[in-house]
Amino acid sequence: MSDGTVLADALTREHHDIDTGIEAYLTGLDSGGDAAPLHTAMHALRRHIYLEETFLFPPLRAGGLMMAIMVMEREHGELWRAMDALEHTLVAPRDPEELRDACRSLLALLDDHNSKEEPVVYPRADADLTDQQRTQLAAFLESGTFPDGWVCAKT
């Protein structure tokens, strides 16, 4: 972790990858709308929320970021509910515009959330976590999966 931002950079990259998957679905919606990029992005977002709430937030909360973490968890609940609603719309789509609106709404929630999380929370991952906590989080980033049925704290 030579430059002091390894975890922050990796977590931010996941944000961008998730956004890209949703945007790819939106781009293809007019030509049949292969939902695979959207499903992949939503699974990645659920996994990302899990890793934050399991590995990142507890030590940062204990280290003094209680209010920021409370906001992040509340927003995770909003994101989770938006994904649940979008998945329901995908199962029984009534109108492509409804899917577009749901995706755009999810992207707007993500943009608002990420614009706070990246500059406030992520730098603390590299600065405040112990070596063991950083190693554990990095290992999960590399190949971890979240348990079936897990839901975020504020759903």
Q: 91 pLDDT exceeds 90?
A: no
The parent domain of residue 12 ranges over: 6-143
pLDDT value, residue 71: 97
The answer to whether position 150 is within a domain reads no
Comparing 56 with 97, the larger pLDDT belongs to 56
Q: What is the CATH number of the domain that holds 110?
A: 1.20.120.520
Residue 121's nearest CA partner among 12, 46, 17, 43 is: 12
Q: Please measure the distance between the N-terminal and C-terminal CA atoms of the chain and give it in whole angstroms.
A: 34
* Continuous H helices in the chain: 6-28, 36-51, 57-62, 66-91, 96-120, 122-128, 131-143
**Mean pLDDT value of segment 102-126:** 96
The answer to whether position 1 is within a domain reads no
pLDDT value, residue 94: 67
The answer to whether position 149 is within a domain reads no
All residues at 6 or more sequence positions from 108 whose CB lies less than 8 Å from its CB, including other chains? none
Q: 123 pLDDT exceeds 90?
A: yes
Q: 87 pLDDT exceeds 60?
A: yes
Determine the residue type at 78: E
pLDDT band at 90 (very low <50, low <70, confident <90, very high): confident
Comparing 2 with 138, the larger pLDDT belongs to 138
The answer to whether position 155 is within a domain reads no
What domain count does the chain have? 1
The answer to whether position 152 is within a domain reads no
Comparing 12 with 96, the larger pLDDT belongs to 12
Q: 1 pLDDT exceeds 60?
A: no
Comparing 111 with 96, the larger pLDDT belongs to 111
pLDDT value, residue 150: 96
- Reported as half-sphere exposure (CB side, CA atoms, 13 A), residue 144 has a value of 18
- Express each pLDDT in 26-73 by its tens digit: 998 877 768 899 999 999 999 999 999 999 999 999 999 999 999 999
